[in-house]
Amino acid sequence: LKQDFGLDNFCLQDFWATEASFRCIMIAYNLMSLFRHFALNHHNRATLKTLKVYCFALGAWQVKHANRKVLKIALSAKKRPWMKGLFSQIKNLSPPFVYSNA
Protein backbone atom coordinates (compact mmCIF):
# COMPACT_ATOMS: atom_id res chain seq x y z
CA LEU A 1 0.00 0.00 0.00
CA LYS A 2 2.78 2.40 0.87
CA GLN A 3 4.55 2.25 -2.48
CA ASP A 4 1.63 1.56 -4.81
CA PHE A 5 -1.03 3.90 -3.47
CA GLY A 6 0.98 6.60 -1.72
CA LEU A 7 0.00 5.65 1.80
CA ASP A 8 3.27 6.91 3.21
CA ASN A 9 2.20 10.57 3.26
CA PHE A 10 -1.55 11.09 3.12
CA CYS A 11 -2.14 12.54 6.59
CA LEU A 12 -3.93 15.87 6.39
CA GLN A 13 -4.57 18.47 9.09
CA ASP A 14 -8.29 17.79 9.26
CA PHE A 15 -9.42 14.39 10.54
CA TRP A 16 -12.29 14.10 8.05
CA ALA A 17 -10.03 14.92 5.11
CA THR A 18 -7.60 12.22 6.22
CA GLU A 19 -10.49 9.79 6.64
CA ALA A 20 -11.81 10.60 3.15
CA SER A 21 -8.41 10.16 1.51
CA PHE A 22 -7.88 6.87 3.36
CA ARG A 23 -11.25 5.57 2.17
CA CYS A 24 -10.47 6.56 -1.44
CA ILE A 25 -7.15 4.72 -1.24
CA MET A 26 -8.87 1.65 0.20
CA ILE A 27 -11.49 1.66 -2.58
CA ALA A 28 -8.72 1.87 -5.19
CA TYR A 29 -6.83 -0.94 -3.48
CA ASN A 30 -9.92 -3.16 -3.33
CA LEU A 31 -10.73 -2.55 -7.00
CA MET A 32 -7.18 -3.44 -8.01
CA SER A 33 -7.26 -6.54 -5.80
CA LEU A 34 -10.46 -7.70 -7.48
CA PHE A 35 -8.93 -7.03 -10.90
CA ARG A 36 -5.84 -9.05 -9.96
CA HIS A 37 -7.96 -11.88 -8.60
CA PHE A 38 -10.53 -12.23 -11.38
CA ALA A 39 -8.74 -10.99 -14.50
CA LEU A 40 -5.15 -12.09 -14.01
CA ASN A 41 -5.22 -15.18 -11.80
CA HIS A 42 -5.66 -16.16 -8.18
CA HIS A 43 -2.00 -16.06 -7.15
CA ASN A 44 -0.67 -13.06 -9.08
CA ARG A 45 1.21 -10.62 -6.87
CA ALA A 46 1.79 -7.94 -9.51
CA THR A 47 2.33 -4.47 -8.11
CA LEU A 48 0.30 -1.49 -9.23
CA LYS A 49 3.27 -0.25 -11.25
CA THR A 50 3.47 -3.56 -13.12
CA LEU A 51 -0.27 -3.53 -13.82
CA LYS A 52 -0.04 0.05 -15.04
CA VAL A 53 2.71 -0.79 -17.52
CA TYR A 54 1.14 -4.01 -18.81
CA CYS A 55 -2.61 -3.27 -18.62
CA PHE A 56 -3.48 0.40 -18.30
CA ALA A 57 -0.77 2.60 -19.84
CA LEU A 58 -1.35 1.51 -23.43
CA GLY A 59 -1.81 3.66 -26.48
CA ALA A 60 -5.30 3.23 -27.93
CA TRP A 61 -7.81 4.88 -30.23
CA GLN A 62 -11.47 4.39 -30.99
CA VAL A 63 -12.91 3.66 -34.45
CA LYS A 64 -16.32 2.79 -35.84
CA HIS A 65 -16.63 -0.56 -37.59
CA ALA A 66 -19.96 -2.02 -38.75
CA ASN A 67 -21.81 0.69 -36.83
CA ARG A 68 -20.11 -0.34 -33.56
CA LYS A 69 -17.38 1.38 -31.59
CA VAL A 70 -14.13 -0.59 -31.48
CA LEU A 71 -11.15 0.14 -29.26
CA LYS A 72 -7.85 -0.36 -31.09
CA ILE A 73 -4.96 -0.97 -28.69
CA ALA A 74 -1.34 -0.41 -29.72
CA LEU A 75 0.30 -3.56 -28.43
CA SER A 76 3.31 -5.55 -29.57
CA ALA A 77 2.60 -8.89 -31.23
CA LYS A 78 4.35 -10.68 -28.36
CA LYS A 79 1.88 -9.36 -25.75
CA ARG A 80 -1.34 -9.71 -27.79
CA PRO A 81 -2.21 -13.29 -26.77
CA TRP A 82 -1.83 -12.34 -23.09
CA MET A 83 -4.10 -9.30 -23.51
CA LYS A 84 -6.70 -11.31 -25.47
CA GLY A 85 -6.73 -13.88 -22.68
CA LEU A 86 -7.20 -11.10 -20.14
CA PHE A 87 -10.18 -9.66 -22.03
CA SER A 88 -11.74 -13.11 -22.48
CA GLN A 89 -11.48 -13.79 -18.74
CA ILE A 90 -13.15 -10.46 -17.97
CA LYS A 91 -15.85 -11.08 -20.59
CA ASN A 92 -16.73 -14.46 -19.06
CA LEU A 93 -17.28 -13.03 -15.56
CA SER A 94 -20.80 -12.58 -14.27
CA PRO A 95 -22.02 -11.44 -10.86
CA PRO A 96 -22.27 -12.41 -8.07
CA PHE A 97 -18.53 -12.64 -7.54
CA VAL A 98 -17.22 -14.99 -4.88
CA TYR A 99 -13.97 -13.63 -3.53
CA SER A 100 -11.90 -15.07 -0.74
CA ASN A 101 -8.67 -13.43 0.40
CA ALA A 102 -7.70 -16.47 2.45
| Residues 6+ away with beta carbon under 8 Å from 61 | 71, 72
Each residue's pLDDT tens digit, 7-62: 677 677 888 888 888 888 888 888 887 777 777 765 566 777 777 777 777 888 89
Residue 72 main-chain phi, psi, to 5 deg: -95, 125
Q: What is the pTM of this model?
A: 0.55
39, 86 Cβ separation under 8 angstroms: yes
CA distances from 6 to 9, 28, 37, 48, 93 (A): 6, 11, 22, 11, 30
Length of the chain: 102
19, 26 Cβ separation under 8 angstroms: no
| Residues 6+ away with beta carbon under 8 Å from 39 | 86, 89, 90
Q: Is the pLDDT of residue 102 over 70?
A: no
User: Can you give the pLDDT at residue 68?
Assistant: 92
Indicate the domain borders of the chain.
Answer: 2-91
Each residue's pLDDT tens digit, 69-83: 988 888 888 888 878
Euclidean distance between CA atoms 11 and 8, whole angstroms: 9
Q: Is the pLDDT of residue 98 over 70?
A: no
